[in-house]
C-alpha cells in the first residue's frame, strides 16, 4: 500500500482517534490505527473493542491495500511535521515508511490482518438528530456519571423515550448516587428508533458521540444488537452498550417543592467557586441558609479557615438550612444557560432541584450532606 495525503487533514483525523486507541493493553494491535484504501479514499479505523470508529478521507492512492500503523507515533510525527503533504508506504516485514519530503521515518508495525474486523450491525432504523440538541443533552448529563470503578450500574448515561402530554421525548439521565441530571428533548420522527426499554451508553462512548456531533450539523443514530451506531458526514461510530439495569431514578425526584429560591446563576456559580477554595477531601460541604431575600453560603475547613458570602435571592416558603457539595453545584450551574436559576427544596434532608427557564427540559438534582 502507498498513499499521499494532505498532512493537516490526516493529522486532524488521527488526533480524533487518539482517545479510542488503547495505550496500555495486552493486545498491541489495539494501539494501532488501520489505514485501508478504497478508490480515491482511505478509511482510518480505531477500536478498543468497546468503541469502534471509522473515518474516511480523500487521498492520492498510489497502491491499494491496508496497513496497521502505531497510532500514537503517527500522531506525534504529524504534529511535528511542517510540510503540507505526507507519504505513507508499506515495506517488507511489517515496516511502514513515512515521509513529509523532509524527515523520513521507518516504523515497526503489525500485520493489518491481525486488526479486529469493523462490524457495523445491518438493518438498523436510523434517526436523524440535530447535533446541537444531542450535544446539549450530553453536556448536561455526562458530568454526573460516576467515576467510581465499583459503580458499574451508573457508569453510563441512561437513554430512553418518554411520553408526556401526548408528546414523545428523548430522555437522558445520569447519576453517581449523590446527584442526578435529567434532560428531555423533542426530536422529530423519534418513533423511528427502537428505544422503549431504554439503553445504557457508556461515558466514553458518549464523549466520542459528542465529538462526532461537533463535526456535523446532524447525526444519524440507531440501536441494535446491544450497540449504538452513529453516522456523521464521513465517520461512523459503533458503541457497545452497557449490559446493566439503571436504577429507578423516579423515586428520588421530589414531586413538589415547599420552598423555592430564584437567584442569578452566575452569582451563585461564582459564590460556590469561592466556597470551594477551602474544600478538600475531608471538608467539601457548603452550608446554605436561605430566607426572605437572600442565600447565605458558608464554607468551614478547620485546617484552612472559613468563607462566607450572601447573595440576593427571591425566596418563597419557610427558611432552609442545608449542606451541599460545592463541586456538584458548580457542575450543574456551568452546564446551564439560564440567567436566573430556580432552587427547589422540601427540607434540609431532601435533594435540591435546580431548573432554569432557558434550559428547557433540564433538571439537576443534588443530594444534601451533613456539615
Of 118-132, 137-151, 347-361, the poorest mean pLDDT is in 137-151
Model confidence over 272-313: pLDDT tens digits?
A: 999 999 988 788 899 999 999 999 999 989 889 999 999 999
Read off the pLDDT of each residue in 221-234 and give the average, rounded to a whole number. 92
Query: Which pLDDT belongs to residue 370?
Result: 84
Query: Which pLDDT belongs to residue 23?
Result: 75
Per residue, the 3-state secondary structure of 139-208, as one string, reads HCCHHHCCCCCCCHHHCEEEEEEEEECCEEEEEEEEECCCEEEEEEEECCCHHHCCCCCCEEEEHHHHHH
**CB–CB of 258/224 below 8 Å?**
no
Average pLDDT across the chain, whole number:
93
Model confidence over 316-330: pLDDT tens digits?
A: 999 999 999 999 999
Radius of gyration of the chain (CA): 25
Cα–Cα distance, 73 to 80 (Å, whole number): 11
pTM to 2 decimal places? 0.93
Strands 85-90 vs 167-175: parallel, antiparallel or unpaired: unpaired
The CA-to-CA distance between both ends of the chain, in Å, stands at 65
In this model, does residue 159 exceed pLDDT 80? yes
- What the chain holds in terms of domains, given with CATH numbers, is 2-114 (3.10.150.10), 127-250 (3.10.150.10), 253-366 (3.10.150.10)
pLDDT band at 37, cuts 50/70/90? very high
pLDDT band at 149, cuts 50/70/90? low
For residue 333, give the nearest of 352, 313, 356, 311 by alpha carbon.
356
What are the Cα distances from residue 323, in Å, to 170, 220, 300? 33, 43, 11
Query: Which pLDDT belongs to residue 244?
Result: 86
Q: What percent of the chain has pLDDT over 70?
A: 98
In this model, does residue 152 exceed pLDDT 70? no
**CB–CB of 55/42 below 8 Å?**
no
Read off the pLDDT of each residue in 233-260 and give the average, rounded to a whole number. 92
Query: Which pLDDT belongs to residue 151?
Result: 57
In this model, does residue 222 exceed pLDDT 60? yes
Query: Which pLDDT belongs to residue 22?
Result: 78
Of 82-86, 97-101, 129-133, 277-281, the poorest mean pLDDT is in 277-281
In this model, does residue 224 exceed pLDDT 60? yes
Read off the pLDDT of each residue in 201-220 and give the average, rounded to a whole number. 95
For residue 192, give the nearest of 173, 159, 207, 170 by alpha carbon.
170
Query: Which pLDDT belongs to residue 26?
Result: 82
Query: Which pLDDT belongs to residue 148?
Result: 66
In this model, does residue 136 exceed pLDDT 90? yes
Amino acid at each position: 500500500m502507498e498513499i499521499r495525503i494532505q498532512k493537516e487533514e490526516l493529522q486532524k483525523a488521527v488526533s480524533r482517534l487518539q482517545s479510542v486507541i488503547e495505550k496500555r493493553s495486552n493486545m498491541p494491535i489495539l494501539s494501532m490505527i488501520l489505514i485501508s484504501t478504497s478508490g480515491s479514499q482511505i478509511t482510518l479505523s480505531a477500536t478498543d473493542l468497546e468503541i469502534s470508529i471509522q473515518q474516511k478521507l480523500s487521498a492520492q492512492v498510489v497502491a491499494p491495500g491496508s496497513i496497521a500503523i502505531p497510532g500514537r507515533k503517527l500522531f506525534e510525527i504529524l504534529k511535528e511535521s511542517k510540510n503540507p503533504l505526507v507519504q505513507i508506504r508499506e515495506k517488507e516485514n511489517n515496516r511502514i515508511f513515512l515521509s513529509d519530503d523532509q524527515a523520513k521515518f521507518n516504523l515497526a508495525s503489525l500485520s493489518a490482518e491481525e486488526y479486529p474486523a469493523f462490524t457495523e450491525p445491518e438493518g438498523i432504523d436510523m434517526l436523524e438528530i440535530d447535533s446541537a440538541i444531542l450535544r446539549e443533552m450530553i453536556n448536561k448529563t455526562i458530568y454526573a456519571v460516576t467515576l467510581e470503578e465499583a459503580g458499574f450500574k451508573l457508569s453510563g448515561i441512561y437513554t430512553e423515550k418518554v411520553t408526556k402530554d401526548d408528546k414523545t421525548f428523548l430522555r437522558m439521565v445520569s447519576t453517581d448516587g449523590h446527584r442526578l441530571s435529567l434532560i428531555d428533548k423533542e426530536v422529530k420522527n423519534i418513533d423511528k428508533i427502537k428505544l422503549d426499554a431504554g439503553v445504557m451508553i457508556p461515558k466514553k462512548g458518549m464523549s466520542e458521540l459528542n465529538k462526532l456531533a461537533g463535526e456535523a450539523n446532524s447525526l444519524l443514530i440507531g440501536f441494535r444488537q446491544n450497540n449504538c451506531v452513529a453516522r456523521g458526514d464521513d465517520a461512523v461510530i459503533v458503541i457497545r452498550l452497557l449490559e446493566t439495569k439503571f436504577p429507578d431514578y423516579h423515586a428520588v425526584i421530589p414531586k413538589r417543592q415547599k420552598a423555592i429560591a430564584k437567584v442569578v446563576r452566575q452569582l451563585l456559580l461564582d459564590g460556590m467557586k469561592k466556597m470551594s477554595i477551602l474544600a478538600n477531601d475531608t471538608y467539601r460541604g457548603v452550608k446554605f441558609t436561605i430566607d426572605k431575600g437572600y442565600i447565605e453560603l458558608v464554607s468551614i475547613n478547620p485546617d484552612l479557615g472559613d468563607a462566607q458570602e450572601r447573595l440576593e435571592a427571591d425566596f418563597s416558603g419557610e427558611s432552609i438550612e442545608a449542606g451541599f457539595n460545592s463541586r456538584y453545584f458548580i457542575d450543574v450551574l456551568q452546564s446551564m444557560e439560564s440567567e436566573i436559576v430556580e432552587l427547589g427544596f422540601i427540607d434540609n434532608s431532601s435533594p435540591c432541584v435546580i431548573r432554569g427557564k432557558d434550559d428547557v427540559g433540564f433538571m439537576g438534582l443534588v443530594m444534601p450532606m451533613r456539615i
